[in-house]
Amino acid sequence: MLDLHVSWDEYHQSIELLAKQISQSQWEFDRIICLARGGLRVGDILSRIFKKPLAILAASSYSGDRERGKLSIASQVTMTDALMGSRVLLVDDLVDSGVTLQQTTVWLRDLYPEIEELKTAVIWYKASSTYIPDYYVSYLASNPWIHQPFEKYDNYKRSMLNKSDLD
């Protein structure tokens, strides 16, 4: 299992390919919900492309560098209007084990009975996943650890912000 390193250009191109795939399916949806943190950028860009309202649901199962723990889901979805809509697109950056997407789809359907149709979209779908997303850009048979371009900020400290040249 080799690590996969993704540049900003590759990252944005992948989101555009995901948007193209969703568009070509001709599935109409009312709202996009992104899973924070990984799905924030994906959801933001898709929301802009499709001109659909964006909602945010915080969910996390990673506690350390590569340590997966118990899934924690926020108590509510953050959105600027009161109506969820009947057709929802749930987006994240990747599906690894499948636990997060599987459990959040159940959680959303329980909390919002008006959801009639819920589909999922990710950039990367790993073979290790028990959940198959409706839309994905890359199937990764070798289950690599994915290094996304914004991860460089994970190691920043506030004191580094005073430096004149951040790298």
User: For residue range 17-47, what is the model confidence (pLDDT) as tens digits?
Assistant: 999 999 999 999 999 999 998 999 999 999 9
d(CA 37, CA 58): 7
Domain limits for position 146: 4-61+75-150
Q: Tell me the whole-structure pTM to 2 decimals.
A: 0.89
φ, ψ for residue 109, nearest 5 deg = -65, -35
Does the pLDDT value for residue 5 go beyond 70? yes
Residue 59 burial (10 A CB sphere; 0-12, 13-18, 19+): buried
Pick 75 or 92 by higher pLDDT.
Answer: 92
Q: Which two tokens stand for residue 15?
A: 């989101």
H or E stretch including 8? helix 8-25
Residue 87, domain CATH: 3.40.50.2020
User: For residue range 103-128, what is the model confidence (pLDDT) as tens digits?
Assistant: 999 999 999 999 999 999 999 999 99
User: What is the tally of structural domains in the chain?
Assistant: 1
Does the pLDDT value for residue 67 go beyond 80? no
